[in-house]
């Protein structure tokens, strides 16, 4: 889920429990200025549209189940 008000996105467990918040306000890697969309590809890369920074950031999370 993308949260433009808090400039982050959240990752949830499949049962709905929140696992982590990713991001904060800014213009560096991992920071956002109005994140506005999210897409997860078949390789579990997370693409987040960073509207006011005019970019798409890509995240790859590694880990087990």
Q: How many CB atoms lie within 10 A of CB 57?
A: 18
Domain count, the chain: 1
Residues 64 and 56: their CA atoms lie apart, in Å, by: 26
pLDDT tens digits, residue range 7-28? Answer: 999 999 999 999 999 999 999 9
Residue 16's domain comprises 2-60
Residues 13 and 20: their CA atoms lie apart, in Å, by: 9
Predicted local confidence at residue 65, as pLDDT: 52
Q: How many CB atoms lie within 10 A of CB 42?
A: 5
> Is residue 64's pLDDT more than 60?
no
Is residue 49 in some structural domain? yes
């Amino acid at each position: 889920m993308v949260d433009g008000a808090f400039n982050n996105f959240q990752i949830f467990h499949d049962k709905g429990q929140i696992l982590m918040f990713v991001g904060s306000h800014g213009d560096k890697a991992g920071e956002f200025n109005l994140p506005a969309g999210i897409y997860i590809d078949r390789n579990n890369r997370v693409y987040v549209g960073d509207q006011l920074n005019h970019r798409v950031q890509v995240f790859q999370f590694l880990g087990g189940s």
